[in-house]
Amino acid sequence: RPAGIVVLGSLNMDLVAYVAQAPARGETVTGRAFRTLPGGKGANQAVAAARAGAEVAMIGAVGTDGFGTRLRTALDRSGVDTDLVRTAEGPSGTAHIVVDDEGGNAIVVVPGANSAVTSLDHGDEALIATADLLLLQLELPLPAVTAGARTARAHGVRTVLTPAPVPARPLPPALLAATDLLVPNQHEAAALTGRTDPYAAARALLADVPEVVVTLGAAGCLYAARGREPVTVPAPRVTAVDTTAAGDTFVGALAVALAEGRPMPAALAWASAAAALSVQREGASPSMPYRAEIDAVLAPAPGGTEAERDS
Ligand code: ATP
């Protein structure tokens, strides 16, 4: 059977403006295009994992506005089970994103309905208990995130936490204690530890969690585990057009590979291939690759491997 993944996290409508260069404070610039795209770190990771081949269920909330209906429908269409996505009175979460011509982005998130997920009910806990792996981020109220991690831990379900957006305060000890794998990007790793060097940050984080993957953008990622030398995994060399949700694509695919029982090095190579595919296309969830596409990146090409052809 496919791996079973539960995502406890946010659903946001991404309001994306495409510009040559992002405006400075007080400045107005004319954009080239505007799109509304279903997103949110939780929903993005859910779609990424579903496309990568897992059976995925989401726990979260949308608002009573039109965005709420669209967010739910988008997840349904991606094959994500939304039975435990609540509808909370008021606006849905929104993310206001500016993407520049170099593929860089700047984002303001307004939580909206996501703020309504302050605790878990019996249905949520029962679902988490049956999962192979639970995916968590920091776009829901911390008490709910912590409760999810603890429920998973109590039932022997592996937990993977993306500490994003960058936490303003140290993470609750109870959350870290129930986290198996922490996946910060470089900024989040630095914010959590006060160390800008990713190696030093990863080593510091191992005091709190047994395994850490620090994502390093085009430079790939760094994997550290207690009692082992950290290793870096390079990213495939590609031309980035939009890096929105590269991290979520990476985590979603990584979760699927781990839930299927693949060893970490193979899982990281697969996740890196998935993320590299996503940065070559515009948008958050629309840019996420399907399982066959990810496999194709890593399959030896006819006439030898990429390395053999390059040499
Ligand atoms: P985002 O916030 O844009 O979703 P992030 O800051 O959370 O991303 P990054 O470290 O930038 O995370 O990227 C996550 C992963 O995506 C990287 O570890 C890498 O595998 C892949 N990736 C990102 N940018 C590139 C790129 N330019 N080329 C190839 N792979 C990339």
104 touches ligand 1 (CB under 6 Å):
no
State yes or no: pLDDT of 311 exceeds 50: no
Dist. CA 186–CA 197, nearest whole Å? 8
Q: What is the mean pLDDT of residues 231-242?
A: 92
Dist. CA 132–CA 96, nearest whole Å? 33
- Whether residue 66 is annotated as binding a ligand: the answer is no
* Percent of the chain topping pLDDT 70: 96
> pTM of the prediction?
0.93
Most informative mutation of 47, 102, 232, 243 for ligand 1 (most atoms within 8 A of CB):
243
State yes or no: pLDDT of 83 exceeds 90: yes
Q: What is the pLDDT of residues 188-226, one digit of tens each?
A: 999 999 999 999 999 999 999 999 999 999 999 999 999
Q: Which candidate, 83, 34, 45, places its Cα nearest to that of 285?
A: 45
Judged by DSSP in three states, 274 sits in helix
State yes or no: pLDDT of 270 exceeds 80: yes
Q: How high is the mean pLDDT of the chain?
A: 94
Q: Kindly give the distance from the C-alpha atom of residue 275 to the centroid of ligand 1, in angstroms, as a whole number.
A: 7
Q: Kindly give the distance from the C-alpha atom of residue 265 to the centroid of ligand 1, in angstroms, as a whole number.
A: 17
ipTM for the whole complex: 0.98
Burial 257-284 (b: 16+ CB within 10 A, else e): bbbbeeebeebbbbbbbbbbbbbbebbb
Predicted confidence at residue 306, as pLDDT, reads 52
**Residue located nearest, by CA, to atom 6 of ligand 1:** 185
Most informative mutation of 233, 244, 279 for ligand 1 (most atoms within 8 A of CB):
279
Q: Kindly give the distance from the C-alpha atom of residue 220 to the centroid of ligand 1, in angstroms, as a whole number.
A: 7
Q: Kindly give the distance from the C-alpha atom of residue 278 to the centroid of ligand 1, in angstroms, as a whole number.
A: 9
For residue 238, which atom of ligand 1 is closest to its CA?
Answer: 28
10 touches ligand 1 (CB under 6 Å):
no
Predicted confidence at residue 303, as pLDDT, reads 62
Predicted confidence at residue 2, as pLDDT, reads 84
Q: What domains does the chain contain, in order, with CATH numbers?
A: 4-19+34-299 (3.40.1190.20)
248 a catalytic residue: yes
Q: Which tokens hold the place of 232? A: 């870096």
